[in-house]
Amino acid sequence: MTGLPLYLFAFLSCALAQDALMQRPEVRKALDYLHAHDAEHLEKQIRIAEIPAPTFHEAERARFLEAEFRRVGLQNIEIDKQGNVLGWRPGKSPKAMVVAAHLDISFSPGVNTKVRKEAGRWFAPGIADDSRGLAALLAIAEALNHAGVATAHTLLFVANVGEEGLGDLNGIRYLFGQSPHKSRLIAFLSIDGTSPARIVNGGTSVKRYRIVIRGPGGHSYGNFGRPNAIHAAGRIVASLAAMDVPQRPKTTYSVGKIQGGTTVNAIAEECVMEVDLRSEDPGELDKLELRFLEAVRTGVEQENKLREVSGKHLTFETELVSHRPGGQTPASSALVKSAEWASRMSGHTPSLSFGSTDSNLPISLGIPAITLGGGGVGENAHSLNEWFEPREAWKGPQMVLLTILAYDAEAK
Ligand SMILES: [Zn+2]
């Protein structure tokens, strides 16, 4: 290999290892299995989607996945303290790569999860997000076991709770923060979304605040001159809405909800607002957070100052109600490279992107993590019109399976 630049040598040896992977008969067998059993895996997806699992109410779906983990031959199956379903597939090393999909759906209890089929599309809340991921998770374990594919690392399959909304990643947070297995976990791969071309290697950092402003209230006419909680909120909203934030790294804000007052002819005693702040860069998010909190303080202060002679004043509280840490798994990392290769092998043109998924948590801890699609086509996630189309759906689990095996061969 003399005369060959080192990076080229590294690239070629990596490419050779991956090509060798495609030559292994048991790997071919696992891939063929996923294609041949596509219809069964799609049926399973429907079965899963019809078990309601709003965030904090995942137990029934968890029990179903527990039985499925047993059926596909995983070992030491348990439902942990947080409600995550865990199943192991031992490798030569006890160090484990986590492959996960989330149990919960972003809908309230009582939502109708019956799947309706219409013109080749399947409609149901959570049919794609993340019933597709859970079905792909099972399919992969089943295919690996059917074909007898051995891995260097142990694989830990997880159907986790708390990915959506105010779940605040509590399932994966527990797995990496408190579970007895945490020190064995070297990488994380979540199956969420559909497209096998989209590799989410960036975790958008999110902070959500609830701001409560309280004051004396009073008659709108008779007590005019007292500070008004809604007027203060108006000042805060106006200054947030005028803030300049970078386009790259993408940084955003939104006042998503505002409530307050009791009636039209009263000075508002209370105003509550909920605010969502995000950035691709955790440092930018911290900056935005400081500016926002300053805007809250200033807005209330200005209203108090203007109405000083009334002798009444407003008070406020700020509460961080949700914090999803973030960051990025470098594009040069073995995990991202493995996923790009696997995506190309299954006929796609991969692209790297940012998202807010379970991967945020391990990424924030410096553990390589990515989120991949489970196959098929999906749209309108988090809405009652969510749909899934089973177009070449097997390519999702094929792509994830190849990513797992390519990374398994590369990782130390
Ligand atoms: Zn999801």
What's the whole-number mean pLDDT along residues 247-260? 95
Q: What's the gap in Å between 408 CA and the centre of ligand 1?
A: 25
The mean pLDDT value of the chain amounts to: 94
According to DSSP H, which parts of 24-123 are helical?
25-36, 38-49, 59-71
For ligand 1, the distance from its centroid to the CA atom of residue 249, given in whole angstroms, is 23
Of the chain, the percentage scoring pLDDT greater than 90 comes to 90
pLDDT > 50? residue 304: yes
Cα distance between residue 345 and residue 62, in whole Å: 33
How far, in Å, from the CA of 50 to the mean position of ligand 1?
16
Q: How far is the CA of 129 from the centre of ligand 1 (A)?
A: 5
**How far does the centroid of ligand 1 lie from the alpha carbon of residue 273, in Å?**
26
Q: How far is the CA of 64 from the centre of ligand 1 (A)?
A: 19
Q: What per-residue confidence (pLDDT) applies to 257?
A: 92
Class of domain 6-203+326-410: alpha beta
Digit-coded pLDDT (tens) for 381-397: 888 899 999 999 999 99
Give yes or no for residue 144 having a pLDDT over 50.
yes
- What per-residue confidence (pLDDT) applies to 2? 43
Ligand 1 geometric centre to CA of 357 (Å): 7
Element (H, E) at 378: strand 377-379
- The Cα 250–Cα 281 span in angstroms is 8
Residue 329 Cα, ligand 1 centroid: separation in angstroms? 19
Going by pLDDT thresholds of 50, 70 and 90, the confidence category of residue 1 is very low
Report whether pLDDT(58) > 70. yes
Tokens of residue 288, six digits:
């935005």
Residue 229 reports pLDDT greater than 70: yes
**Region 104-127: what's the mean pLDDT?**
93
Å from CA of 56 to ligand 1 middle: 15
Ligand 1 center to 100 CA (angstroms): 11
Cα 126 to ligand 1 centre (Å): 8
Q: What is the average per-residue pLDDT within 340-363? A: 94
Q: What is the pLDDT of residues 310-321, one digit of tens each?
A: 999 999 999 999
End-to-end CA distance of the chain: 23
Using left for φ > 0, alpha for ψ between -120 and 50, and beta otherwise, residue 321 falls in alpha
Report the pLDDT value the prediction gives residue 14, as an integer from 0 to 100: 60
pTM given for the model: 0.86
Q: How far is the CA of 13 from the centre of ligand 1 (A)?
A: 35
Q: What is the mean pLDDT of residues 34-44?
A: 98
Model pLDDT, residue 20? 87
Residue 13: pLDDT band with limits 50, 70, 90: low
Asked if residue 408 has pLDDT above 80, the reply is yes
Whole-angstrom CA distances from 138 to 40, 64, 132, 295, 368 are 11, 12, 10, 48, 22
The predicted pLDDT at position 19 comes to 80
pLDDT at site 142 = 98
CA of 210 to the centre of ligand 1 (A): 24
Q: What is the mean pLDDT of residues 220-248?
A: 97
How far is the centre of ligand 1, averaged over its atoms, from the C-alpha of 156 (Å)? 19
Which helix (H) or strand (E) is 7 found in, with range?
Answer: helix 6-23
Ligand 1: centre distance to CA 30 (Å)? 26
- CA 164 / ligand 1 centre spacing (Å): 7
pLDDT, mean of residues 181-209 = 96
pLDDT > 60? residue 331: yes
183 Cα: distance to centroid of ligand 1 (angstroms)? 26
Query: CA nearest 105: which of 382, 321, 402?
Result: 382
Ligand 1 centroid, distance to 128 Cα (angstroms): 8
Q: How remote is the CA of residue 192 from the centroid of ligand 1, in Å?
A: 5
DSSP 105: B
Question: How many A from CA of 203 to the centre of ligand 1?
Answer: 13
CA of 240 to the centre of ligand 1 (A): 29
Q: What is the pLDDT of residue 165?
A: 80
Q: How confident is the model at residue 412 (pLDDT cuts 50, 70, 90)?
A: confident
133: which 2 tokens? 């991921």
Report whether pLDDT(293) > 80: yes
**CA 65 to centroid of ligand 1, rounded, Å:** 17
Question: What pLDDT shows up at residue 16?
Answer: 67
- Kindly state the percentage of the chain with pLDDT values over 70: 96
**CATH second-level architecture of 205-322?**
2-Layer Sandwich (3.30)
Tell me the domain boundaries of the chain.
6-203+326-410, 205-322
Q: How far is the CA of 93 from the centre of ligand 1 (A)?
A: 30
- Contact indicator for 335, 370 with CB cutoff of 8 Å: yes
Strands (E), 147-228: 153-160, 185-191, 198-203, 205-214
